[in-house]
Amino acid sequence: MNKQYKGTGFFDTHILKLLKDYKDIKEPIPVNFRELVPNIVHMDRHTHFIHSYPAKLLQQIPYFFLNNTVFSEENDIVLDPFCGTGTVLLESSLANRNAIGIDINPLASLIAKTKTSGIDISKLTKELEKIQDLMKIYKSSKKQFYIPTISNLEHWYSRQNMRRLSKLKDIINKITHPEVKEFYLVIFSLCCKKFSYSDPRISVPVKINKDKFPEGHSLREAAIKNLKFIDKNKVFEFFTEQAKRNIFRLTDYQNSSMINSSKVTVYNSDIKHLATKKIKTKSVQLVLTSPPYVSAQKYIRASSLSLQWLELNKTTIPELDKQSIGREHFPAKEYKQLHLIGIKRIDEILTKIYKRNKLRAYITYKYLIEMQESFKHYHEVLKHNGYFIMVIGNNTIAGYEFMTHKYLIKIAKKIGFSVELILIDDIKSRGLMTKRNKTASIISREYIVIFKKV
């Protein structure tokens, strides 16, 4: 490919060939999205790196599927029902599509909204000047400021950093402009993680432990360096640095996108409860999403420190976690009996898992049932001949290879989708994995399944 690929429609020829090849061979086609979209060299482009989050979708994937006229055209509506921090939404806006994002995690929704904001940059800059002036006053203040209820607060934070974070939260709470406040809450969230004793290598909070590694080990040195940084108590300085960096990123996004003609809407909700209430039936041209894996990620727990500091969740962390698809915790009375969904091949694997691990069988059953519910909503909101593109990986459950993509294909077909194309990409392109438990393994490949509503 040459430098001409910028612009809607460039990938049409390549996509049409892939569709034809799949029709002929009926086998998944290996691809490498980094090679398919070589013009994305620097991953820190626009606002993609405004905030860290586990299992972010590789930018090249939505870029490839949005910059063509096969699956959607300019001004069409693109839906990501598991939008996370908004990778698909951002790329949709850059491709001049109207985007709707939904996520159950309040922190993810906040980041996605901020990442695609069209707020006047001068308002952010002026507010930062006010914040810096207040920091000078607050720095020497002996007053005790409000600290939200945070589980094991003293386990995660030094007393000095608790005080600095509480002061900073008080300053941000004084901001009256809603979008400006949201932007600075995202920056504050970065501080909540950075100045905690949670290991930055692990998405779910685990306390840094340098003694896990021998003298001279690179990970021991990294842990020592991180602890030294935390104990310097440079919360205000780090906040200012990140604010300036993200104002620059947002400026770049606004200069590069078509925010005046395209619209991005983000809902902190559940697709199963929201779809037909907020999204018109047969209004969406493309659903493009990477849904949760069975037990693969602890999105709520990974966000727990920020969620508690920002007080974003209306319920407790465990209650919020219960609303997530792919969750692991259920009362024993729910999984005593075998539950089946009525599709032979799926019921066979559920039966095998049940014989080895009743809880894992029920977790898998609930995941499939809730994904089925979600798929029904996609079918309702999609236009006739609209597309649904799913990025998903297989894994191992109770020692059995669980072919997630195949089982979800069976569910989708039953609902009324046809399979137009299946691609396979190596997951090394994506910072996804954490080891989940002794009965599950690391996901090694991703399948990209293109469905059509017929």
HEC per residue, 253-268: HHHHCCCCCCCEEEEE
Statement to judge: residues 29 and 177 lie in one domain = no
Q: Is there a domain that residue 305 lies in? A: no
The model's pLDDT over 229-250, given as tens digits with 9 standing for 90+, comes to 999 999 999 999 999 999 999 9
Statement to judge: residues 351 and 419 lie in one domain = yes
Nearest to 67 by CA among 3, 10, 14, 17: 10
pTM above 0.75, yes or no: yes
Q: Tell me the C-alpha distance between 81 and 271, whole Å.
A: 6
Statement to judge: residues 40 and 84 lie in one domain = yes
Statement to judge: residues 233 and 293 lie in one domain = no
Q: DSSP assignment, residue 383?
A: E
pLDDT given for residue 272 in this prediction: 74
Sheet with 98-103: strands ordered across: 29-30, 417-426, 445-453, 382-393, 284-289, 77-80, 98-103, 264-268
Q: Tell me the C-alpha distance between 187 and 241, whole Å.
A: 10
pLDDT given for residue 7 in this prediction: 45
Q: DSSP assignment, residue 206?
A: -
The model's pLDDT over 87-96, given as tens digits with 9 standing for 90+, comes to 999 999 999 9
Domain C-terminal end among 227, 250, 273: 250
Q: Is there a domain that residue 317 lies in? A: no
| CATH code assigned at 11 | 3.40.50.150
Query: What are residue 390's phi and psi, to 5 degrees?
Result: -120, 130
Q: Is there a domain that residue 112 lies in? A: no
Statement to judge: residues 226 and 271 lie in one domain = no
Contacts of 331 (CB under 8 A, 6+ apart): none
Statement to judge: residues 333 and 405 lie in one domain = yes
Statement to judge: residues 90 and 146 lie in one domain = no
pLDDT given for residue 20 in this prediction: 97
Residues of the chain with pLDDT under 50: 1-8, 429-442
Nearest to 295 by CA among 251, 353, 338: 353
Q: How many domains does the chain have?
A: 2
Domain C-terminal end among 250, 273, 305: 250
Statement to judge: residues 361 and 291 lie in one domain = yes
Domain C-terminal end among 250, 284, 311: 250
Statement to judge: residues 160 and 290 lie in one domain = no
Q: Is there a domain that residue 110 lies in? A: no
Q: Is there a domain that residue 309 lies in? A: no
Q: Is there a domain that residue 150 lies in? A: yes
DSSP string, 270-331: -HHHHHHHHS-TT-EEEEEE-PPPTT---HHHHTHHHHHHHT--SS-HHHHHHTSTT-----
Statement to judge: residues 282 and 219 lie in one domain = no
Statement to judge: residues 28 and 158 lie in one domain = no
Q: Is there a domain that residue 25 lies in? A: yes
Q: Is there a domain that residue 314 lies in? A: no
- Name the residue range of residue 22's domain: 3-105+263-297+322-453
Statement to judge: residues 291 and 227 lie in one domain = no
